[in-house]
Amino acid sequence: MSNMRLGFSLGSLLSVKEILDCTKVLDNYSVDSIWIPETWGMDCCSILSQISNIAKKPNLGSSIINIYSRSPALVAMSSVTLDILSNGRFVLGLGTSSKAIVEDWHGSEFSNPLGRMREYVDVLRLAMSGKKVSYDGKFFHLKNFGLLIKPSRTRIPIYLAAINQKMVDLTWEIADGVIFYLRPLPELKTTIAKMQSKKKIDVTCQLITCISHDSEKAINRAKQTIAFYVSVGAIYREFLASHGFKKETMAIFEEYGKNGLKNNHVFVTDEMVNSLAVCGTPDDVRQKIRQFVNAGIDLPILQFNPVGTVNESFDLLVKTLAGDMK
């Protein structure tokens, strides 16, 4: 597994300072990429801009910017700015997010995700190439929009977060890469083989990652994260239910309805954890990553979930994988 590509997602469970501290640690290794999520914590563009000053080599990805809270013109501006600041290392990760986030928090209507995504990427590609854009689509209408700054390269890679098959199909049609999340290993393997046989794109998958010398603690942490996404994310709940985990997702969601997130992770089975996450002792973690790579993932993106203190937990993760990041 030496010299494999490895990405790290430093997210919502960390403070801004902790993210920057972890970035300093990663700067000592050959890391493929660092990804910053965006939901209701920090805005990822500010953080990525700061990170670009600390880590000078890895690619820097947004994971993910949703296509409802910002206009494509604004995302084109942010992307080109970040690409200039990082000397051409920015990767734009886009997704549709969810109805709850888009409607309850941003006050937009969550409609036509596929059609909107297709046009959004169209507009972005035109704008980020430095051309003047006049565009008359079903969702977006732009007149004479042109960037005042000169892009450092004419094509910034666009990766799409995809869950359901229609979005997966669209991703392989229009994007440079895909960002998968919470897909059972056997399903992942089948889907990747099927899609990559049509056309090769960069296949990434964010993997819930928990490491500890005490494997019980790490597994428990991973179960809590899985329970959280099953509880609040209808799209993940439905996807997992239709791919072998119907009983489990129902139990997790029912308990969530009764008592919230306090104990509903006890309904996450070991089978679910093994199929969805990278967790356990250092040896377990190395072995699990290899399983996901063998399933066809070009770039595992480790979504770091600290077990114990952030610094110690992150150091353990990085030291465990140091041999693969020479």
Amino acid present at 189? K
pLDDT at 1: 44
The answer for residues whose C-beta is within 8 angstroms of residue 107's C-beta and 6 or more apart is: none
Radius of gyration in angstroms for the set of CA atoms belonging to the chain, rounded to a whole number: 19
What does the alpha-carbon distance between residue 123 and residue 150 come to, in Å, rounded to a whole number? 17
Tell which residue, 277, 312, 285, 292, has the closest CA to residue 211. 285
Residue boundaries of the structural domains of the chain:
7-213+281-324, 216-276
- Whether the CB-CB separation of 289 and 279 falls below 8 Å is answered with no
Cis peptide before 64 (omega within 30 of 0): yes
β 133-136/141-145 pair status: antiparallel
pTM for this entry: 0.96
Distance CA 250, CA 257 (A): 11
Consecutive sets of 10 residues in the chain, 326 residues long: mean pLDDT of each? Answer: 84 94 97 92 93 97 93 97 98 83 64 93 96 96 95 95 96 98 97 97 98 98 97 94 97 96 96 98 98 98 98 98 91
**pLDDT score at 126:** 96
CATH superfamily of 7-213+281-324: Luciferase-like domain (3.20.20.30)
